[in-house]
Amino acid sequence: MQQVNSKKNIFAKKNKSNIRWCWIFMIPTLLLYLVFTAWPIFSSFYYATLKWSGLSVTKEFVGLSNFIEVAKDPYFWSAFWNSFKFMFGVVPIHLIIGLLLAVVLNNKLLKLAKVYRTLFFLPVVTTASIVGIIMIFILGADGPVNTILLSLGITDNPINWLGDPKYAMISVILISGWKNLGINMIYWLAALQSIPSELYEAAKVDGCNSRQMFRYITFPLIIPIGAVIALLNIVGSLKVFDIVKTMTNGGPFFSTDVVATYIYRYAFSSEMGLPRIGYASAAGIFFGITIIIVGFTANHFKKKIKAKSIVSQN
C-alpha cells in the first residue's frame, strides 16, 4: 500500500514539473508565432488605415480611404480576376491529370514506378526563378516549342507565348500546371494507398474489371481526401506569386498581373514611385478576406462531400 502511495507521489510531483516543461517547450514556437503570424495579421489592419511609405517616420491616418481607393482601381480588379482565372486554369490540371498519373503509378506490377515518380517530381523541387529562365528559352521564338509548331505547320509565325497578352496567361497556367503536378500526384498516391487492398481482392472475386473497380471502389473512397487536395490547390493557387513574378512580372500589359504581384509592386518596388505600405496592406486585406471566404466555402463543400461519402460507405 505504502509503495503504491509513494509511486503516486512521484507521478504527482512529475506532473507539476511536466506542465512547466510543457510551457518551456512551447515558448519558442509561441514567440515566433506571435512575431511572424499573429502580429502581422493585426498590424496589417492598422497599416491599411495609414498613408505611409514605410521609409519615412511620418504616418498619416487616413481611415478607410485606402480601401475605397483599392475598390475603385480597375488594375486591382483586373489582378483580382486574373488570380481567379489562374485558379480555374491550374486546379483542374492538378486534380485530373494528377489523379490519372497517380492511378497509373500506383500499379504494383509496374516496375520503375519510383523512377517515374522522381522525374515527375523534379519541377516541384525547382525554384521558380530557374523555371522562369528555362521557359523563356523553351517558349522563345527559336525555342523548341515554336520549332515543333512551325515544322508541323500548326502556325506560320512563331508564337510569342509570354510576350503576347493573348497567350501569356495560358502559358503561365500551363507552366504552373507542369511545375506543381508532381506534388499533386503524390497527394493522390497517398489517397490511393489509403484504400485497403482487401476491397480490390473482393471485387476481383466478384468479377469486376479495372474500370468498374475505379468507378465503384477507388473513386468513392478517395473523394474525401480529394476534397482536401482540391482545397489546398484552390487556396494555394489564389496566392500565386513566384511563378508569375519570375515568368512575366505581371505583364505584358498587366495581362498576368495577380493580386500578389499587384501588392508587391505597391509595397516594395520602385516602379510606382515611393512605396505605399498602407495602400498595399488594404489590397492585401481585401484579397485575404476573399481567400478566407473562398476557403470556407470550399471547406463547407468538403465537409458535405465527406459526410456524404461516409453515409454511402455505410
Partner 1 sequence: MNNLKRFRIKNKKICLTHILLIIVSLVWIYPFIWMVSASFKTDDEIFAKGLNLIPKNFNFDNFIRAWNNANFEAYFFNSIVVTVCTVLLVLILSAMMGYVMGRYEFKGKKVVLGIFLASMVIPLGFTIIPIYQAIKALGLMNTRIGLILAESGGSHIIFILLFAGFFKEIPKSLEEAAIMDGCGFLRIFINIMLPLSKPIIGSVVIMQFIWTWNSFLLPLVLTLSNEGLRTLAVGLYAFKGEYVVDWTGIAAGGTISLIPIIIVFVVLQKYFVEGIAGSIKG
Nearer to partner 1, 54 or 92 (CB): 54
144 binds partner 1 (CB under 8 A): yes
Find the helix or strand (DSSP H, E) in which 1 lies: none
Binding mask 240-279 for partner 1 (x = CB under 8 A): -xx--xx-------------x--xx--xx--------x--
Which residue stretch of 56-64, 78-86, 281-289, 305-313 sits at the interface with partner 1 (rule: CB under 8 A)? 281-289
* Per-residue buried b or exposed e for 8-21, using 16+ beta carbons within 10 Å of the residue's own CB: eeeeeeeeeeeeee
| Residue 209 engages partner 1 in binding (rule: CB under 8 A) | no
Report the residue number, 28 or 74, with the smaller CB distance to partner 1: 28
Q: Where are the alpha helices (DSSP H) in 34-73?
A: 39-47, 65-72
Give the C-alpha separation, 30 to 47, whole Å.
23
Question: Among 295, 305, 306, 309, which residue interacts with partner 1 (rule: CB under 8 A)?
Answer: 295
305 sits near partner 1 (criterion: CB under 8 A): no
Site for partner 1 contains 116 (CB under 8 A): yes
User: Distance between CA 91 and CA 224 in Å, rounded?
Assistant: 17
HSE-CB of 189 using CA atoms within 13 angstroms: 19
Under rule CB under 8 A, which residues in 60-89 are in contact with partner 1?
Answer: none
Regarding 288 and contact with partner 1 (CB under 8 A), the answer is yes
| Angstrom distances, CA of residue 176 to CA of 40, 132, 170, 247 | 28, 10, 10, 10
> What residues between 210 and 229 interact with partner 1 by CB under 8 A?
225, 228-229
Q: Restricting to residues 228-247, which ones interact with partner 1 according to CB under 8 A?
A: 228-229, 232, 235, 238-239, 241-242, 245-246
Going from the C-alpha of 180 to that of each of 91, 117, 145, 184, 273, the distances in angstroms are 10, 13, 20, 7, 35
Residues 15-54 within binding reach of partner 1 (CB under 8 A): 17-19, 21-22, 25-26, 28-30, 32-33, 35-41, 43-44, 47, 54
Q: Minimum Å distance from CB 144 to partner 1? A: 5
Question: Does the footprint of partner 1 cover residue 11 (CB under 8 A)?
Answer: yes
| Number of other CB atoms surrounding residue 282 within 10 Å | 29
Q: Which of these segments, 71-79, 86-94, 112-120, 198-206, binds partner 1 (CB under 8 A)?
A: 112-120
Hey, what's the cell of 233? 490547390
Cβ distance 62 to 50 under 8 Å? Answer: yes
If one asks whether residue 310 binds partner 1 (CB under 8 A), the answer comes out as no
Cis peptide upstream of residue 144 (ω within 30 degrees of 0) = no
Judged by CB under 8 A, does residue 296 bind partner 1?
Answer: yes
